[in-house]
Structure 1
Amino acid sequence: MHIPLRIYVRLLRTYLAHQRTHVRLLAFLLFLTIGLQLLNPRVLQLFLDGAVHKAPLSILSLLGLLFLLVGLASQGLSVLATYLSESVAWRATNSLREDLAEHCLQLDMPFHNAHSPGEMISRLDGDVTSLANFFSQFVIRVLGNLLLLLGILLMLCFVDWRLGLGLALYTLLALFILQRTRNLAIAHSLAHKEQQAQLYGYLEERLSCLEDISSLGATTSILQGFYERMRSWLRTIQFLGLFDGLKVGVTSLALVGGTFLALGLGAYLFGLRWSSTGTLVMLFYYTQLLQAPLLELLDQLRNLQDASASITRVNALFTSTPQVHDGNVAQFPTGPLSLALSDVSFAYEMGKPVLRDITFSLPGGSVLGLLGRTGSGKTSIARLLLRLYDPQSGNIHLSGSDTIPLNLRSLRLHTLRGSIALVTQDIQLFHASLRDNLTFFDPHIPDERLLYALRETNLSEWYQSLPAGLDTLLHGNTGLSAGEAQLLTLARVFLRDPSLVILDEASSRLDLASERRLEEALDRVLVGRTVIIIAHRLATLRRADYLVILENGHIREQGARQHLQQCPDSYFTHLLHTGMEEVLA
């Protein structure tokens, strides 16, 4: 699998640009370490030759001390370089992770429906973490070790040109072998990461519904699916290990060949008395030192193989684009919103329409009751109003008390979604403090406003029972009744002060007492706002001014609730007489 060089360069330039000083210091430390590594064998040669020729003890002592100091300095610089490289790596990967998470949050629902949360965690965390070495050390270490190889060969040429030439040929052969094995296992590494992400996604989805799985006796089938994914992943890991082992084996053979070559040349020259004992030891030292950069290059190429698979997956996320495009109008209409849908048709999948030619309007400050069987398109209308999806045809317009109608597509998404609140029957609470659950981690909302929202939503008594007030840690929905969790969601709505509130079966899971508390809170929270109520209970529709009844994606009936209720031939009257819950179930 070939990845264009510009992809690597662009990533390095983007995420190391703000760390130029640290990168330069890291390069300096690594190159200084290389210089010290080249110096020590030469010091050892001088020491041994001096000892053989009975040099003064003071000179030998100085050479021994220099050898020791150079070794200590080399180790100390390596520690500093490691610390600095980790700092550079984590700064770069955290920045990449932040950009990638922000990009994924801007993608729309079709993308997130196609990728499970477990898969996204694997890609946002695992793939980005795999790039840590690539950001911090790859380029510097590859260049540094190539320079170390060149330095060793030059030092050997300085000692004897035949030694330098022989080991230069060996080095070129070893580098050729490394280059040939570079892309050997990238495809299997990519498959390994893909299957790992699929496994995490499978586990995340099953663990989130563990109670249902246990109660329905589906444990055996879930485990079978787990084993099938593990078996597929195991085969990929085995192939990956096979190729890795092949590369290591080939490289090891090349290194052994280099050692035999160096020792053979050294013995030949020593036999001809063209080299000294110190030179022979230095040659062996340099030969062993020559193996280190080759092994380091192999390690870096292995890391590059892993990084290449991660870069492919990260780049695939960055190139994913939303189907819903942002508008350019930032000024949102003030006051209660009026809305109008004109000939709106929509399908999640081409050829399977969910809504067909939907046309209705709602004055600002009014309450619309949206009725219909399951699958009739009620929730789809709510998603279109939030622009989680865009219709394939037709238009939706919004207007305030003093503005002309604006096409929904022309509005900035952040502004639109900040002015429309959706309350569903599925409550999502974080493992975080009550304050953070109410504010969505916005630290700028004062506590007084939070307490006022809790009072307005009938949660004062519950709040007073908490051990740490707003700092009380909530464990998701655990420990809360369905009514308390729904009222907390309503408190979020109150804090946002939206112009349009959509209640999508918000009370369908509540008992009568909890529903009564919710209705009392709604009486206060919904004042002065435009409201859409998606429901099938008659009690929930008592506040509706207008009704729209959907059937198979079409509007079956619409009009003022009082008029439809008083008209004996209306479909709504038929629902009232036959029992609306049974007909719309």
Structure 2
Amino acid sequence: MKKDSTMKRVLKLLKPYTGFIILSLIFALGTVISTLMIPVLEGRAVDHIIGKGKVDFSGLLFVLKEIAAVAAVTFFCQLFMNLINNHITYSVAKTLRQRAFERLLRVPVKVIDSESHGDIASRIVTDADSFTDGLLLGFTQLFTGIMTIAGTIIFMIRIRFTIALIVIAATPVSLLIAKFISGRTYRYFTQQSKDRGDLTEYIDERISLEDLVSQLGAGELSKEEFVKKNNKLTDSATKATFYSSLTNPSTRFVNAVIYAVVGVVGAFLAVAGSISVGELTSFLGYAREYARPFNEITGVITEMQNAMACAARIFEIIDQDQVEDCDGEFDGEVKGAVDMEHVDFSYVPEKPLITDLNVKVNPGEKVAIVGPTGAGKTTLINLLMRFYDVNAGSVKVDGRDIRTVSRNALRSRFGMVLQETFLFSGTIRDNLTLGKPDATDEEIIEASKAAHAHEFIRKLPDGYDTVLSPSGTLSQGQKQLLCIARLMLALPPMLILDEATSSIDTRTEMKIQDAFNKMMKGRTTFVVAHRLQTIRDADMILYMENGHVLEQGNHKELLAKNGYYAKLYRSQFMS
């Protein structure tokens, strides 16, 4: 994304805060005027000190009181300006984060699958913080800096036009240096943000897979890879910081030269009697005040380069195409008839996966999907849930194409338990009621008992109010029991079970299988299975390979065919 277009979008985000910005400008103007009054008052104070024994103490005291009053005004103007600027910048950052996260909830699943999860998190959290820092500096120092420059020029011209021309004439040198350097920092800040996201992703991955890394003895390899990524981030961050840090000292040098020239010229004029010592003091004060904003503004420009680079990365998330959805609803209760007619699908256009798939499932039937790894079993589930849409053909539920109903309407009719467990930070009760928020305590306990989870939940420190973390202290089997209990509590008309008991001991699995059989009665169920003993009673078994259904029938029929399924079955039970 180009820097100019990023800036336009940031300005658009600021539009709702126009009133606050105007108020901030008023306080900024008050800060500048009161600040610029002090050199004038300092000059007057100096002129009241005429010489040894010739000090106008009453006049000096009056000027000192004026300086104190002006300083108080400056303090309160700066205080209110900063409070307003903080409100604007952090509100904008909050809006930016919220829009990015909301878009993530609406983008196609393939977008999430194709992006680094750590990098996405880095964009929404770290990059948003960096953007806030840059924007805050812009509001705090850019406004006051520009006004200070304009104000000092006016005050200097009033004192002595010829000296003011020296300062003004040298100003473009500072601007050209700042522009030259800052124009080259943007790409380094962009690379720094990207490298930071890569490192965040790697750290997150290695922490979540710590047990596996230790088991495989891959600690040294992980360390070496971390060092590479860390060095890459260090390199890009060092370059960004180095080039950006050149701006301030370069402009400070130019401004110091200007200040020295003003001092020398002013001294000659004072000796000649053209200006008073007090006026020279005021002029030097203004020369100092004139130089200060340039140093601050160059720092702001550097931070803004980083802020715009970070904002561009967040806008990339916001600009992702969101899922096109409709607001259609099913007519009445869903019975569970599923028809897949002439379905074609591929994750990558040039690599077809499923071609001309036809499956008809009657309401209440149990359908088992088996086959080798990569056969397309999970893909079939993805199509049923509309995590991905078919490239051709149609998937129908109760005779209605699922693309004509909203995703929420479709997915609320399905319940899923996957081989990989998904629990969120929160209490056990919160996790169990995700699919049925209004469930009563009795219903929660009944579902937990059916899933054989009640006993271990009861033994936890706070029972159903025990707070879980993503890692937690529960075993994998206990986590899977909670997922099963969650499904049994919601009880939608259609079920998807993908190796739902893979982490549970055999004895408990046999008990849960009885509960599953009761739950599946009258509900259309799709079971993805590797252990074929769990699906021998299925009404229909689909044997898939390379995206094609090669065999279809019940257990006895497929054994009688003596084909792919029979071969797979015998390999498990007759080896």
1:50 corresponds to 2:48: yes
Are 1:459 and 2:485 counterparts? no
Which residue in the other structure is 1:24 paired with? 22
Tell me the SS of whatever aligns to 1:149. Answer: helix
Alignment CA distance shift 1:570-1:182 (3 Å)? closer
Aligned to 1:417: 411
Q: Is the 8 A contact 2:25 2:143 kept in 1?
A: no
- Work out the CA distance in 2 between the residues paired with 1:443 and 1:553: 37
Question: 1:304 and 1:332, CA in 2 relative to 1: closer, same or farther beyond 3 A?
Answer: farther
Q: Does 1:435 align with 2:433?
A: no
Q: Does 1:9 align with 2:14?
A: no
- The 5 A counterparts of 1:330-409 are 330-331=329-330, 334-399=333-398, 405-409=399-403
Find 1:507's aligned residue among 483, 489, 501: 501
SS of the equivalent of 2:182 reads coil
Q: 1:255 and 2:255 equivalent?
A: yes
Pairwise CA distance, 1:341: 0.8
| Residue equivalent to 2:523 | 529
User: Which residue does the alignment assign to 1:215?
Assistant: 215
Give 3-state SS (helix, strand or coil) of 2:352's partner: strand
The structural deviation recorded for 1:441 is 10
1:301–1:449 Cα change, 3 Å: farther
Secondary structure of 1:503 counterpart: strand
Match of 2:236 in 1: 236
Asked whether the 8 Å contact 2:101–2:124 carries over to 1, the reply is: yes
Query: 2:574 & 2:351 partners in 1: Cα distance?
Result: 26
1:328 CA displacement:
4.0
Deviation string, structure 1 residues 62-108 (Cα, Å, up to 9, x no partner): 21011123223323432343333223322221121111011122222
Partners of 1:41 and 1:286 within 8 A in 2? yes
Amino acid at match of 1:73: V
Q: Aligned partners of 1:245 and 1:171: how far apart in 2?
A: 20
| 8 A contact 2:355–2:548 mirrored in 1 | yes
- 1:207, CA displacement in angstroms? 1.9
Q: Deviations over 1:148-180 (max 9, x none)?
A: 101101001011111222212222332233233
- C-alpha separation in 1, matches of 2:440 and 2:270: 84
Equivalent of 1:470, from 464, 468, 476? Answer: 464
Is residue 96–residue 314 contact of structure 2 (8 Å, CA) maintained in 1?
A: no
Residue 488 of structure 1 corresponds to: 482
Q: Which amino acid aligns with 1:365?
A: G
Matching residue's letter, 1:470: Y
**Residue type of the partner of 1:454?**
S
Gaps of 5+ in 2: none
Matching residue of 1:402: none
C-alpha deviation, 1:2, in angstroms: 4.9
CA-to-aligned-CA distance 1:353-408 (integer Å, 9 cap, x gap): 33232111111221111111121111110011112222322211111xxxxx2222
Whether 2:185 is the aligned partner of 1:185: answer yes
Distance 1:440 1:155, change over 3 A: farther
1:480–1:499 distance in 2 versus 1, CA, 3 Å: same
8 Å Cα contact 2:366-2:527 kept in structure 1: yes
Distance between the aligned counterparts of 1:497 and 1:70, measured in 2?
72
Displacement, 1:45?
A: 1.4
Do 1:29 and 1:77's aligned partners in 2 also have CA atoms closer than 8 Å? yes
CA distance in 2, matches of 1:73, 1:458: 70
SS in 1 for 2:412: helix
Query: Is contact 2:364–2:524 with CA below 8 Å preserved after alignment?
Result: yes
| Residues 2/398 of structure 1: CA separation in 2 closer, same or farther (3 Å cut) | closer
Counterpart AA for 1:393: A
Contact 2:270 2:276 in 1 (8 A): yes
Cα offsets for 1:405-440 (capped at 9, x unmatched): 222222222222232222111112233221222234
Separation in structure 2 between the aligned mates of residue 579 and residue 146 of structure 1, nearest angstrom? 80
Amino acid at match of 2:11: L
The answer to whether the 8 A contact 2:118-2:198 is kept is yes
Larger mean Cα displacement after TM superposition, 305-314 or 483-492 = 483-492
Superposition deviation, residue 514 in structure 1: 2.4
Please give the alpha-carbon distance, in whole angstroms, between the structure 2 residues aligned to 1:260 and 1:216: 67
Deviates more, 1:174-183 or 1:356-365: 174-183
How far did residue 305 of structure 1 move?
0.7
Instruction: Select between 333-342 and 499-508 the one with higher mean Cα deviation.
Output: 333-342
Please provide the CA RMSD for this pair: 2.6
Q: Please tell me whether the aligned partners of residues 85 and 137 of structure 1 are also in contact (alpha carbons under 8 angstroms).
A: no
Contact 2:435 2:490 in 1 (8 A): no
Mapped to 2, the partners of 1:507 and 1:3 lie a distance apart of 52
Aligned length: 573
Q: Look up the SS of the partner of 2:358 in the other structure.
A: strand
Secondary structure in 2 aligned to 1:342?
Answer: strand
Question: Runs of at least 4 residues of structure 1 off by over 6 A?
Answer: none
Q: Distance in 2 between matches of 1:261 and 1:439?
A: 75
- AA in 2 matched with 1:376: A
Hey, what's the Cα distance between the residues in 2 that align with 1:332 and 1:136?
A: 53
Alignment of 1:186-205 (within 5 A): 186-205=186-205
TM-score by length of structure 1 reads 0.91
Aligned equivalents of 2:185 and 2:92: distance in 1?
26
Kindly indicate whether residue 147 of structure 2 is the aligned counterpart of residue 147 of structure 1. Answer: yes
Quick one: which amino acid aligns to residue 316 of structure 2? A
Q: 1:331 to 1:282 in 2, by over 3 A?
A: farther
Which deviations, in whole Å up to 9, do the C-alpha atoms of 1:448-495 show, x marking residues without a partner?
543343234332222322222332112335432333211211222234
Provide the residue aligned with 1:541 in structure 2. Answer: 535
2: CA distance between counterparts of 1:478 and 1:318?
Answer: 32
Q: After superposition, what is the alpha-carbon deviation per residue over 1:560-581, rounded to whole angstroms, capped at 9, x for unaligned?
A: 445445x4656545554x2446
